[in-house]
Structure 1
């Protein structure tokens, strides 16, 4: 199955975690970085384009600042990132040089991908770099980012980059062999799960939420990233990053790590962006009838189905769409502002102009701008 699935892969996103890139003292491990770059060069030789999403800047900067443990304050993290980014890029440059390959740094915040124009600009930049045979090395712009515009972790960023770069495969290199049915660090009977056909609630619960001393993402964030990539139609491989040759072995179809299969019916690129990249600014609660037609019939949300609206958003804002039980089941772009929707809730479409004195259209959220989650 693996060989067949990977046969047509032409563009790969390789996410490399902090624990993979650093040694026991928290400094960059040039042996491991060199091994990974050897594999990336081998892929390039086979005609496969590679985009790297790399953690490690804060960890590299931490050692330069003389901090004995992970920075706790935002200024400390930003200072460590400012120092560490240069060290990290230099490490990639040195490791790629023997293969005749060049690298380019691309720093992003969630705002860069939440804006459709900036999202497309970022994609064009990555496409151009790949066209010149250069390896983009993408990281969150930790030197300026604050909580409100953070991706959360580079696992999430890698899934979003997989969509942005229109990649065929996401590889997440981590410090364990893959997804286990229990924590292998504490349970010697834990078994590796080689294949995940679909990320279910049981799989998510199994992943837990542990984080490392030098990174921000635990197994739960990696499973969440695999789920997002699957909705985009891309498989994900979770692999032991410090194992020499692991990328090439995986690409050749060896039964290593955990393979997450793509969803049978993936989202198009724009709807994936809408579902997973935009941050909702409000919530619309709908009645059971509206929920049924949205979920089962792919219709637009009409004002008659709206029960309540909350938040602060204008026309075109991203909103969560929730049922009467309060649970979000869809997400979309509103055709009206929060104050306008509050006035239209429960009314018929033909009453819109009568209520507002104008109308943009007959729906609150058009089906083309709506994703069922």
Structure 2
């Protein structure tokens, strides 16, 4: 296409017409290799977001860059590897990042609000619902929420892993109509575009379009953590939950947030899930496993039936009633996730037995169909 414009597919039309958008921008698009914020690049992203807001859009901005912004003030040559120094850099950089966004959006008379999340805020159901209410109120007040992982307190055990995943989770949490991932790469390629010979992919309709893609990780200067692999995983997560995705270069933010005729568009591959079912399938942490026989696997995955004790062949780990557990087949492949109705200690006496052979108080479903999500 001349001028780099891509064909306006239905996916691109949906992104372009979306009223509520989550936009993610990475560290490599906001900072320099030497560390510190590049205010000109940050202003360019803000200008594109503000322009979309002025047309009636509600935007949530998921922004990396806190740790990178803290490197120069702390005289650190590169992103630290140990968690304590990362958190120290984030503590310094987060303040600089928030100030930069407030100043930049102020040029457009836009108020911003900082929202720092840990994985607990989406893993725990009560926290998840509270985060939803917070975002709804901020957006209703005309505020642009600027979201980041709370790097100053998150531990390795409770991290999202990268802000691309955070953006995909946030897109569903806020009920976004589309997700836009802004990167230092202009689109998805089937290989490393820096090495030449890589094919540019402009439309992804389903998994088959990704069979030949070899996505790498991380930026070589150490400022970024995601890389194309994490962006691809985030796009697949969002699109499988009914949210169209556009991956584009941050330097094309105006067009990405305008006609959406740049980058790579990921078509929706699954139905829009309720907040609870999305939380069950993608956000909640599983604390144990239930092993199913073939008949139970078919009933749960194909007929969407509740899981009964008769179809269970074994359990692993310790869990309590109300916890999220994984349901696995005979090969340990995860086929579903759901909320278990019993403690792990109660199940050994129940598994493999028909409901009619159990005492009345133990005849309820082990995992009810309403609390179960099939994993594809």
Does 17-26 or 265-274 show the bigger shift? 265-274
What CA distance in whole angstroms lies between the structure 2 residues aligned with 1:4 and 1:138? 26
C-alpha distance 170-317 of structure 1, shift in aligned 2 (>3 A): same
* 1:207 Cα offset (Å): 4.2
Map 1:179-328 → 2, pairs under 5 A: 179-186=188-195, 188-199=196-207, 203=210, 206-212=213-219, 213-241=222-250, 243=251, 246-328=252-334
Q: Deviations over 1:253-288 (max 9, x none)?
A: 353111111124332221111111001101111011
For residues 170 and 7 of structure 1, do their structure 2 counterparts lie closer, same or farther at Cα, with a shift above 3 Å needed? closer
Shift of 1:124: 0.9
Q: Distance in 2 between matches of 1:209 and 1:150?
A: 21
- Give me the whole-angstrom Cα distance separating, in 2, the residues matched to 1:154 and 1:6: 20
Give 4+ residue runs of structure 1 displaced > 6 Å after superposition: none
The reply to whether residue 19 of structure 1 matches residue 28 of structure 2 is yes
> Which runs of no fewer than 5 residues in structure 1 stay unpaired?
none
With over 3 angstroms needed to count, the CA separation of the structure-2 counterparts of 1:205 and 1:125, relative to structure 1, is: farther
Moved more, 263-272 or 307-316: 263-272
TM-score, normalising length from structure 2?
0.93
Q: What is the distance in 2 between the residues matched to 1:100 and 1:371? A: 43
Matches of 1:69 and 1:81, distance apart in 2: 13
Q: Compute the TM-score of the two structures, normalised by the length of structure 1.
A: 0.94
- How many residues matched? 364
CA RMSD after TM alignment = 1.6
- Is 2:163 the counterpart of 1:157? no
How far off is 1:125 after superposition?
A: 0.9
Q: Retained in 1: the 8 A contact 2:305–2:369?
A: yes
Deviation, structure 1 residue 351: 3.0
Inter-partner Cα distance in structure 2 for 1:257 and 1:168: 18
CA distance 1:321–1:144, change in 2 (3 Å): same
Q: Is the 8 A contact 2:30 2:41 kept in 1?
A: yes
**8 Å Cα contact 1:232/1:268 also seen in 2:** no
Please state if 1:79 is matched with 2:88. yes
